[in-house]
Amino acid sequence: MVKQTLVLIKPDGVQRSISGEIITRFENAGMKIIGMKMVWVDKKLSKEHYSEHIKKPFFKGLDEFIRSGPVIAMAIEGVDVVKNVRRIVGSTAPGDALPGTIRG
C-alpha cells in the first residue's frame, strides 16, 4: 500500500551539501518526493516535533541542533515507505547505523 512519511535533512546535512545525494537515494529506491521545503525551525516547531522528548535530558541539545541552520522537510511517498526510509537512513543512534546508510 502506498503511504507518505516526513523526512528531514537536518542542518548538518544541509551544511555539508549532501542534500542532493540523500534525495537521490530515496528516488533510486523507488520513492517519490511529493513535497519539499527548506525551513528554519523555531522553538515552537521544535517543541511540537520533538514533544515526546521535551522532558528528556538530551532535549536541550537536540533543540539547539535542529534550530542551528536550515532544514529540508520532505513528504515522501511509496510502498512500505516508513520501513524503506528507515532502512536507507539507518539507526537513530549513529554509532549503531550500518555502513552504507545515511547515518552510517
Ordered by start, the domain boundaries in the chain are: 2-96
Residue 74, Cβ density class (10 Å: 0-12 exposed, 13-18 middle, ≥19 buried): buried
Q: What are 37-72's pLDDT values in tens digits?
A: 999 999 999 999 999 999 999 999 999 999 999 999
Q: Would you say the pTM of this structure is higher than 0.75?
A: yes
Query: Which grid cell is 40?
Result: 528554519
On whether the CB atoms of residues 68 and 11 are closer than 8 A, the answer is: yes
pLDDT for position 15 = 97
CATH superfamily of 2-96: Nucleoside diphosphate kinase-like domain (3.30.70.141)
H helical segments located in the chain = 11-15, 19-28, 43-49, 59-66, 81-89
